[in-house]
Amino acid sequence: MAVAPRSRKSVRRQRLEAAVNYPLDWLEERSGLVGGIRYFLFRKVPGDVNWMQTLGSATLTAFIVQAITGVILAMYYKPEPQTAYQSIQHITNDVTLGWLVRGMHKWGASLFIILMFFHMARVFLFGAYKYPRELNWIVGVMLLATGMLEGFTGYLLPWDQTAYWATVVGINLNGTAPFLGPFLAQFLRGGAEIGPDTLSRFYSMHMLLIPGGLIGLIGLHLYLVVRLGVTSPPWSKDAAGMEPTTNGAGPATNGRTGLTRPAARGTLRRNGGDGL
Amino acid sequence: MEPGRRDEPHTPAPTLYPIGFAAGIACVLVGLIVSPRLIAPIGGAIAIVFGFLWVRDATRDYRGVPAPVDPETRREAGVGDAPAVPAHHGEAAMPEPEPGERFPRSTFLEASTLGVGVIIGGLVTVPVAVMALGPAFGKQGKHYVDLGPLDNFPEGEWRLATFFLDPGLGEVTRRTAYIRNNGTLDSEPSFTIISNRCAHLGCPVQPNGPVFDDQSKDVNTGGGERIKLIKMLPAGGFGCPCHGGQYDPEGNRTAGPPVRALDRYEYAIKNGHLILLKTFSVSHVDGTGKDATIHKYRLAGPGQHIDGWEQIFYPLQPPQ
């Protein structure tokens, strides 16, 4: 727990390290959070990972930017037909650095969607959607859908002509869905006609309902990434599907156990956690 | 397959059936555009056949005799090098139930916890769901808008009328209708009142012809409803700026993506005023003006088919 005394270190340094470590140790002893974060951040990955594999983290970063700038914008935005457009003008023209935060949110939205598609292309081209990661692909598709729903609902909020008519068209597109379409369109509009309820409804969905789902799905996505490990690039020398070497103490912990396939159906090995 | 790497075939074995299935689907999609009667059913048949083969192939292991599974074995406690599980750890602390012994109390507690959870969940969820989903089943297309005296609508001329569906909510409920006085039919005034909501995806259609903004008239019918009437001449019918849908002056679709004619308003004459009533959908109109035969349907959203075989996709509409 405490720092092991070493003759090399000066007394001052030892005190400093003890001071830094004390709260961390306190936290770790009571919650295990430090070890958890260490486990999350310092995972074993294949030696030949590629820069393309940072696209997922880039997408996550774009989402965090959207979340933070969105919270700040919500402090100034007023979701009423009479005030929405004016409040956006106020944010852009009057509030200090409002133009920048709004710009980050507006352009970051496109960036988020584009990065999702790049990340998806990387996963597809690397074959990283294959066993045992199919479920994570499905979760990723759900993230793509919810991310685009964020785009759809957020587009109305500036409440200008583009926003209004794009939303009219978007809602009516949903209305052409078979059987339930007419009801879906009325649900999105909050009634028969687009109006004040539509704006507040989209605002609520944009900043409460869908982000909640998005955050939950991101958590599940990351959990599966940690559990299943990172894939090697397709050109990797260590071919996927190779049996890991064993030394009698269970599967080898080469950090890539998630890549191995079961020997035969019915004798599924537990994948993921090293040495489990 | 790399020799020397103890590689084994993939399970399940590679199969071409998904590719055949995908080709069938592609054939259906192309066929729907090229030839819905011939190519699309062929593609559908291909997709069904390959889909069946694919499912049969993929479920082969589950349908036949199941693959033998080695029984799970475990060393007896205390035998060999594995230490015995201490009595206060793990399941050993739990006494083995007598054969036939039941746990009615724990079963009851399980069921009651579950039941109370369902009741609490329902008490919370039902009102929330009703409030959120209620508008989906609300009434649509019902209005009552006074457009002012009939004198403002000379016979045979078109007027572009803008009005508020709900003056209390203001500008966001402003709507536009194209109105023509057709003269009298059986000594009753006849009007053609076309909604400007495009039958494709609901953009505002515009008259293909001059709109005389200098010949506009503001009408105040009381109740704060500001109505504007502008003379116009939609000689070329109507066109939508969004995706290029085109209509003739009666609202029949002539080109572009719309699936039917433009919606119309029902109307009434009350105290010499023209009153807009509920909206209805129109598949097509035969003839023109007061002699027109309007093929009238209940109001449907833009892009929704009301006739033809595609109408089976929209059997239900919110109440009107």
Query: Chain A to chain B, count of Cβ pairs less than 8 Å apart?
Result: 110
Position B120 pLDDT exceeds 90: yes
Predicted confidence band of residue A257 (pLDDT cuts 50, 70, 90): very low
In order, the DSSP letters of chain B are --TTTT----SSPP-SHHHHHHHHHHHHHHHHHH-TTTHHHHHHHHHHHHHHHHHHHHTHHHHSSPPP-PPP--PPTTSTTSPPPPTTSGGGGSPPPPTT---HHHHHHHHHHHHHHHHHHHHHHHHHHHHHHGGGGS--S---EEEEEGGGS-BT-EEEEEEES-TTTGGGGEEEEEEEEEEEETTEEEEEEEE-B-TTT-PBPEESS-EEEEEEEEEE-STT-EEEEEEE--TT-EE-TTT--EE-TT--EEESS-SSPPPEEEEEEETTEEEEEEEEEEEEEES-GGG-EEEEE----TT---SSGGGGG-------
- Write down the pLDDT at residue A64: 97
Which among B11, B136, B141 has CB closest to A183? B136
- Write down the pLDDT at residue A2: 55
Which residues 6+ apart lie within 8 Å of B8 measured at CB?
A263
Residue A32's CB is within 10 A of a number of other CB atoms, namely: 11
Q: What is the pTM of this model?
A: 0.74
What is the arithmetic mean of pLDDT over B166-190?
86
- B235 close to B244: Cβ distance less than 8 angstroms: no
Residues of B in contact with A183 (CB under 8 A): 136-137, 316, 318
Which of the two residues, A34 and A267, has the higher pLDDT score?
A34
How many Å lie between the alpha carbon of A121 and the closest alpha carbon of chain B?
A: 20
Share of chain A above pLDDT 90, in %: 68
Contact A168/B303, CB-based, under 8 Å?
no
- Lowest-confidence region among A153-167, A201-215, B75-89, B111-125: B75-89
Predicted confidence band of residue A260 (pLDDT cuts 50, 70, 90): very low
CA atoms within 13 A on the CB side of A64: 7
Predicted confidence band of residue A254 (pLDDT cuts 50, 70, 90): very low
- A259 close to A131: Cβ distance less than 8 angstroms: no
**CB proximity B69 to A under 8 Å:** yes
Contact A261/B242, CB-based, under 8 Å?
no
Amino acid, res. B269:
I
Which residues 6+ apart lie within 8 Å of A62 measured at CB?
A108, A111, A112, A115
Q: What is the pLDDT of residues A188-197, one digit of tens each?
A: 999 888 888 9
Contact B301/A172, CB-based, under 8 Å?
yes
- Write down the pLDDT at residue A268: 40
Q: What is the pLDDT of residues B195-223, one digit of tens each?
A: 999 999 999 999 999 999 888 888 877 66
**CB proximity B18 to A under 8 Å:** no
Contact B172/A191, CB-based, under 8 Å?
no
